[in-house]
A = this chain, B = another copy of it.
Amino acid sequence: MTFHQHTLPNGLTILGETNPAALSVAVAFWVKTGARDETPEVAGVSHFLEHMVFKGTPRRDAFTVNRDFSRIGADNNAWTSEENTVFHAVVLPEFLPEVVDVLADILRPSLRGDDFDTEKKVILDEIVRYEVQPGWAVSEHARKHFYAGHPLGNSVLGSTASITALARDQMAEYFKRRYVAPNIVAVAAGNFDWPKFVSLVEKAAGGWPTGVAPRTQRIEPPGAGGVHVVTKPPDKVAQQYVMLIAPAAPADHELGYAGAIVSTVVGDYTGSRLFWALTDPGLADEAGMGVDECDGAGAYYTSFNCDPERASKCYGIVRELLDDVQKNGITDDELQQAKTKVMSREVRAGERTQRRMLTVVKDWVYRDEYRSVDDELAAWDAVTMKQIREVLDRYPLTNQTVTAYGPLERIG
């Protein structure tokens, strides 16, 4: 695998990892904008705009966009997060020209008024559908409590009120400001010709306007702390959901690998301390811990859901477990097992062009660097017990903001 990088005169970055042994090529246009870049008046516009991108351009209506992906057998999709809006597709190598053509074309959407009105209903329906999913709802509440006004706590979907009030011209203004060339990365990974990819992207996107799309409020949120209870009637939410959030290392932090090891030992979906304490004995239906590495901030998410009658017991076990790891760290055996686990996942992910593509672009966007699969493996392998201690001291597992969502009126 070979890495390549090029910047167009308008500031658009092009990245590539060529692998002649791959059977496919994965391509994306990665826009560095998301919910954290929204003002309250346009909450949800990034995600709504992601939908509108598929509704057509001066060259293609919505039907043609879908057909042109379909006819090349593309496995395509898009997603919006707090920090990024990403449009991606995997195709056979011979369809590289077509997939770049469609992806680049839709990134200059018409944003037609009647499409906007129709899609607004779809978004409003989506909000209603999500709101009744307690796993999603607890996370929305928990993030709001933890971030306490920091823009990383913004909701990706927005609210019924903000979406209802949103006007087409506000979206057009946001698009113009945030979808400038220097804020976009075009990336490919797999079996493709690098000079050809560069010339395809240059032809399709070389004329996009340049500009500056800075990200404001890059301060590290301290975590608001406290215990927040959102009570729901038992006929609406039968299970009790609990989520704990604590500050963790940002995406470009040198202790990120150590932090991810801690999270694997404590809360991987299988074989972790939480698995043995809550899931395996059947105390909780689900329990786990993960780490979210963002731009200038990071967070450990620890969560479980269970029968309300067992919630206080489970909560006590979780806090005790976190306190114990904070105080006594992890064992040599746990460190070794977690390394094997994450390294094995890294290697397996490396077999898929889509996963490599996403890794390459994330490393570049968040760390300004390229890392091969071997670089990643070496970094995991290099994690020491000393670093585990350091990351625990710098980002303690005791500094939790707790949110409970479900029938209970209090927890713990």
Contact = CB atoms under 8 A, between A and B. Distances in A.
Interface of A: 21-24, 62-63, 66-67, 69-75, 90-92, 95, 121-122, 270-271, 275-276, 280, 282, 336-337, 340-345, 347-348, 350-353, 373
A22 B340 contact: no
A373 B24 CA distance: 13
A376 to B, nearest CB: 12
B351 A22 contact: yes
B72 A351 contact: no
B70 A270 contact: yes
Contacts of A66: 270-271, 275, 280
Nearest to A75: B348
Contacts of A91: 344
Contact of A71 (B70, B121, B282, B337): B337
A351 B352 contact: yes
5 contacts: A23-B351, A69-B271, A74-B344, A91-B344, A122-B282
Nearest to A354: B348
B347 A24 contact: yes
Given A90-B348, A344-B75, A344-B91, A70 B21 contact: no
A119 to B, nearest CB: 10
A168 B271 CA distance: 27
A271 B62 CA distance: 11
Contact of A271 (B21, B67, B90, B342): B67
A352 to B, nearest CB: 6
Contact of A70 (B70, B90, B337): B337
A186 B266 CA distance: 34
Nearest to A276: B63
Contacts of A23: 347-348, 350-351, 373
A186 to B, nearest CB: 21
A289 to B, nearest CB: 15
A146 to B, nearest CB: 30
A344 B373 CA distance: 25
A117 to B, nearest CB: 13
Shortest Cβ-Cβ A-B pairs, 9 listed: A73-B344, A70-B271, A73-B340, A73-B341, A23-B347, A71-B337, A24-B348, A21-B21, A23-B351
Given A71-B340, A73-B341, 11 more contacts: A22-B351, A23-B350, A66-B270, A66-B275, A67-B271, A70-B341, A71-B337, A73-B344, A75-B348, A121-B282, A351-B353
Contacts of A72: 340, 344
